[in-house]
Structure 1
Amino acid sequence: MLWIALHLPQLSLESFGATLAHEPGESVHTSPQPVALVDAHHIACVNPAASALGVKPGLKRGTALALAPDIVLGQADAARDAQAILGVAHAALAFTPSVTFEPPEDPQAAPHTVLLEVQASLRYFGGLNRLLKRLHAALQPLQHTVHCASAPTPKGAALLARMPDPGDGRHADGLSMLNRMLDAVPVWLLGPGREHWEALQGMGLRVLSDLRSLPRSGLARRFSEALLDDIDRARGIQPDPRDWVTLSESFDSRLELFARADTTEQVLHGASILLARLVSWASAQHSQVSRFTLHMQHEPRHRHDARTPEDSTMQIALAEPSRDIGHMQVLLRERLAHLQLVAPTLELRLHCNEVLRRAPPNTELFPTAKSEREGLTRLIERLQARLGVGQVQRLRPVEDHRPERATDALAAQASAMKNSPDSPPALQGPQRPVWLLPTPEPLPERQLRPLLDGKPLQLVCGPERIEAGWWDNALAERDYFIALAGDGALVWIYRARLPMSVSEEAQGWFLQGRFG
C-alpha cells in the first residue's frame, strides 16, 4: 500500500483569511495586514505580518492588541475549517476512492490532514511524481498551504507530513525507509506524546528514536498504551483501519464573510472560494456542473422594511456542462454586475444538485469543429450574462424567397449549439449577404448604371430572379445582382423586373445588403 498525506498547517488561518479583502494575487500569508485567530481569549495562530510585530500563539487577546493595535482578530471556528478541508478531500477523490481524514488530537477541532491510498492509481497516472504534480494542480484553486508526504502506512505518512520544515516533501518507498525517517519525528506530534510532553522532555525523550531504546512495559505504565499503539500503527506493526470519505448527493457549502459585503465585487470574492469547492466536488465524481445557485444572506438590521427578502438568490445555468472554474467565474461576474443588493450580505451559500456525468473532453493539438462550437457557446453565454437573454438574438430561416422576410430574429439559445452537427451544412442556392439593410435604399443612376457614394457600381454576378408575395399582397418581382463598389466592397442590389408593373417609387435600382 502507498499512502499520501496532505497536511494543511495553516488551515484555520486560511479558511478565515479567505473571507478578507486582499489585493489581486495577495493572500493572508503575504498580506501586510496582521491577522490572528482567537480561541478561548488566547491567540491560536498568526500570519507573518502579526508574527513580525511580536504576536505569538498563546498570548492573551489584550496583549496581542497592545503589540499590534491594527491587528485583525477572528474567532477560530471548527465548522468553518471542516468546510474548507472537505474541499481538499473532494479534490483528492478525483485520484482515488480511498480518501480519509487523520483524526485531530482535539475531538472538538476539525481535521487538518487528508490521507489518500493511491497504490492502485499509480499506473493510471504514470507514477507517483506525475500523480503528485496533478494533485497539487487540483488543489491550487483552493489556495491552501499543503505539506505532502507518502509512506506505506497512513499514520506514518501523516506524521511525515506534519514534521517541521517538510521541504519538498518526505516520501518513504518501503517500511525500512519509513522506520528510519520516523526516528526523527518529534514525540509531541503524537496525541499521547503531546499530553505528556513536559514529562517526556524532562526525561530527554524528544523524538521517536529516543523511545525505541526504552522498555515498552515501562513506557506503557508511565505514558499509557495509546502512545505505543500510535507508534506501532505508524511503523506498520499494528493494523490501522480507516473510514472513507463519501460524497453527498448534492453540493452545499456556506461561507460567512468577515465584513458585510455592500458591493457585488465583495460578494464575487467570496463566491470564487465556493466555486473552487464546487469544482472539487464535481471532479470527485468525474462530472460537470449544469446549474448552480448562489444564495446571499442579508443582514437583518440593514433591511429596509419587512418586504425586503432575507436573502437574494441567483441561479446560473450553463448551456454546456463544465467544471471550468474560470468560465463559471466569468458568468457569475457578469450576472452580479447587473445586481443591486437590497441589503448588505453577511453569508454566502452555494448549492448544486444538477451535474452531468460523462468522460472528460480529449485534449486537441489542432482546433476541431467541436471545440470551435464550444467556444461559440461560451461566447453566447457570456453575452447573455452581460446583456440579458433577450438582447442576444439569432436568425431563424423562414420559407420565403423575399430577403426581407426570409429570416426571423429569436433569442439565442446557447444550449442549442451543443446539439448542432459537427460541420455546418453546405450553402444551398445563390450566395447572399448576411447584413441586410432594414429597408432597401434607392440608388441614383448615371446612364442607366447604379451609383453608390457617387461612384458607378460594376455588376459582377447576376441576375438572380425572385418572384414571390402574390399571396399576401406584397408582390416582389426583382432581379438581384452582386456588384463591386469603388472601394472594393461587394454589395447586393436589385431592380424591378417589370418596371411598368410597379409604382414609380419602386422603380430603379436599390441597395439591399452588403457582404462582410
Structure 2
Amino acid sequence: MRVFLAVHLPRLQLEVFQPKWRPEPAHGCVVLDRDKVLAADGVARSAGVRVGMQRGGVLTLAPEVEMYERDPGREHVAQREVAVALMQFSPDVAVLEEAVVVVDVGASLRLFGGLLAVCRQAKAILEAIGLTARISAAPTGQGAWLLARHRSRRVLKIDSLERQLSALPLLSVPEVRPFTDWFTGLGCETIADVRRLPRAGLQRRCGEHLLDSLDRAFGTTPELFDWLELPPTFSARIEMPDRIEHAEAALFGAHRLVVQLCGWLCAKHLALTGATLLLEHERGRQAIDPTPIEIALGEPTWREDHLVRLIKERLARVELTAPVIALRLDALDVQPAVPVSSTLFPEPGGSAEEHARLVELLVARLGEDNVLKPSPTADYRPEIANRWVPVGNTSKSTMLPEGLPRPTWLLEKPVRLLMRKHRPFYGSPLRMVSPGERIEAGWFDGELMTRDYFVAQTEDQTCFWIYRERVSSRDAEEDQRWFLHGLFG
C-alpha cells in the first residue's frame, strides 16, 4: 500500500525571514512581491494590512512595520531543508511547487508506529526547523498535495480520498486557474463539478494537463516524481537572524542543522562517528576564524535527540570571543549503519549503545579529562597497578588475573584499622569472607611490599578490601597491623 505524506508550508514566504523561534517584531512583518503584500503576520494584519495591498498603503496603516522583499532562493533552500530532514522516514522525497514536500511513507508506517506517529514526528521536525506546516496523507501524491494545500486530512483508501477531493474548490487545481472565468460561467465551484463535465470537451478546451492532474490525484493514472538526490557528503550552513553573544543561544540553529543531518544519514543508511560544528563570526577586515566544536562519538549514531544533547552540553562550555552570525555543520566521519538489535530478550541494564551514549553525554558535560576508565598496569602492587585514563584513550591496558576480588575504588593512602579482641574493627568488627591474596613485590625498585589481602565484611554487609602487613618471625610477638585499602561498590 502506497501512502504519501504531503507537508505544506503556508507561511514559508514570511517564516524564511521570521522563523517561529524568533520573537515576532513589535510592529509586525510583511513580505512584498513587486511592491504588493504577499504575506503578513498577525500584528500587521491587526493593523489593517491585507494581502495584495500596495507598499504605500502598508506604510500609511503601519509605518513602523518590518518589510522584506520576497526571496525565492531562500524559500527554495528552506523547502529543501525540510525535504532532507523528512528523509528520516523515507528516501523518496520530492520538492513540489507552492511550498509542498511529498514523502512516500507507505513502506515505513510499521517501523515508525503508524500514520499518526509519523505525522507527529514530522510535525516535531518542522517545529525544530522553525516552520509552520499543514500535514496531510493520501494514497496518491497529487491527492495528498491537494489536501495539504487546503486542510489537514489523513485518508488511506481511494474511496475516502475521492470524497475529500471532490469537495475542494475548483481553484485548488493549478491547471484550472487559467480557465477560472470559463468554469465559473458554467456554474462550477468544486472539483466534483469539473469532473462531471465531458472529458472530450475538457481536453479540447483546457488541454491534457488538467485531466492528467485530476487522474493522478484520484489514482486512475500512475504518478511519476522527481525524487530528491542527496550529495555524497553532508555540509549545511545557516545564518542567524541576529548576532548571538552567548553560545547557548546557538542551540536552535544547531538543532535545525542536526535534523537535516539525521535525514541525510537515514537516507544514506549511514551512522555518524564524528562531526564539526563551526560558529562563524564577523567577516571583512576584522574577520575572526570560526570557533570549532568537535563532536566525537564513541559509538556510531543517527539519533537526533542524542546529537542535540551532546551539542547542548558542548555549547554550554564554550566562551565566545566574538558574536556568532552563522553556523555550519560538517559530517566528517560516517560508516554503514548497523541495524537495531531485534533480540527477544533485551540486555538487562541497557544495551551497549545506550551505555556509549551515556558516556558521550558525560564527556560533553564534564570534559574528556574528567571521565575516566580503568587501565591497570603490569604490577602486582595495587597502588601502582591502579591507573585511570580518559575514556577516549586507546592505549592498551593489562588485564587483571581472573578470580581475584579487586575493588573499584582504592584509597589514596591506606587507613590503619583499630584492633578489638584481636580482630580489625571499622564501625563494627570485620569478618573475613575470602581467602587471602599474598602480594610480595617491589624488590627490584627498592619499594618492597609484603602484604596479605582479604575481603572483609561488616555487620551491615558492607565489603572492604583490607590487608595485614607480614612480619618476620622475630617480630611475631608484636600486634599485627591491619589497613583499609579499598571499597567495593
Q: TM-score when scaled to structure 2?
A: 0.81
Partner of 1:443: 417
Counterparts of 1:158-237 in structure 2, within 5 Å, are 158-162=145-149, 164=150, 166-170=151-155, 173=158, 182-195=165-178, 197=180, 201=184, 204-212=187-195, 227=210, 230-231=213-214, 234=217
User: Structure 1 residues 343, 216: CA separation in 2 closer, same or farther (over 3 Å shift)?
Assistant: same
- In 1, distance between residues paired with 2:484 and 2:469? 12
Which of 429, 448, 452 lines up with 1:479 in the alignment? 452
Aligned counterpart in structure 1 of residue 101 of structure 2, from 73, 90, 114: 114
Shift of 1:327: 0.9
Paired residues of 2:434 and 2:454 also in contact (CA < 8 A): yes
- Contact 1:440-1:512 at 8 Å conserved across structures: yes
* 1:411 pairs with one of 381, 390, 413: 390
Aligned to 2:126: 142
User: Aligned residue for 2:114?
Assistant: 130
Residues 1:464 and 1:179: Cα distance change in structure 2 (over 3 Å):
closer
Which residue type is aligned with residue 264 of structure 2? Answer: W
CA deviation digits over 1:184-223, x for unaligned, max 9? 3333333343345466556654434444566778767876
Deviations 1:96-138 (A, max 9, x none): 5544333x2xxxxxx52233456xx45x745999356435534
State the partner residue of 1:468.
441
Q: For residue 358 of structure 2, what is the aligned residue in structure 1?
A: 379
Say if 2:480 is the partner of 1:493: no
Can you list the C-alpha shifts for 1:173-194, whole angstroms capped at 9, x where unaligned?
16xx766654433333333433
Contact kept in structure 2, 1:161 and 1:170, CA below 8 Å: no
Structure 1 pair 34–255 and aligned structure 2 pair: CA distance change class (3 A): same
- Distance across 2 between alignment mates of 1:361 and 1:244: 27
- How big is the shift at 1:59? 3.1
Which residue in the other structure is 1:429 paired with? 403
Aligned to 1:512: 485
State the Cα RMSD in Å. Answer: 4.1
Q: Distance in 2 between matches of 1:449 and 1:41?
A: 95
Question: Closer, same or farther in 2 for the Cα pair 1:59/1:350, shift >3 Å?
Answer: farther
Aligned length: 478
Question: In the superposition, relative to structure 1, how do residues 16 and 354 fare at CA in structure 2: closer, same or farther (>3 Å)?
Answer: farther
Mean Cα deviation higher: 261-270 or 347-356 = 347-356
- Structure 2 distance, partners of 1:501, 1:78, is 96
Alignment CA distance shift 1:486-1:5 (3 Å): closer
User: Unpaired runs of 5+ in structure 1?
Assistant: 23-27, 105-110, 417-424
**Shift in Å, 1:498:** 1.6
Matches of 2:431 and 2:239 in 1, distance apart?
Answer: 69
For 1:497, the aligned partner's letter is R
Which of these residues, 77, 90, 99, is aligned with residue 83 of structure 1?
77
Structure-to-structure mapping, 1:293-442, within 5 angstroms? 293-300=276-283, 305=286, 308-309=288-289, 311-362=290-341, 367-368=346-347, 371-413=350-392, 428-442=402-416
Gaps of 5+ in 2: none
Aligned to 1:289: 272
| TM-score normalised by the chain length of structure 1 | 0.77
Q: Secondary structure at the match of 1:466?
A: strand
Deviations 1:322-367 (A, max 9, x none): 1221111111011111112222122222222533323431367764
Distance 1:48 1:465, change over 3 A: same
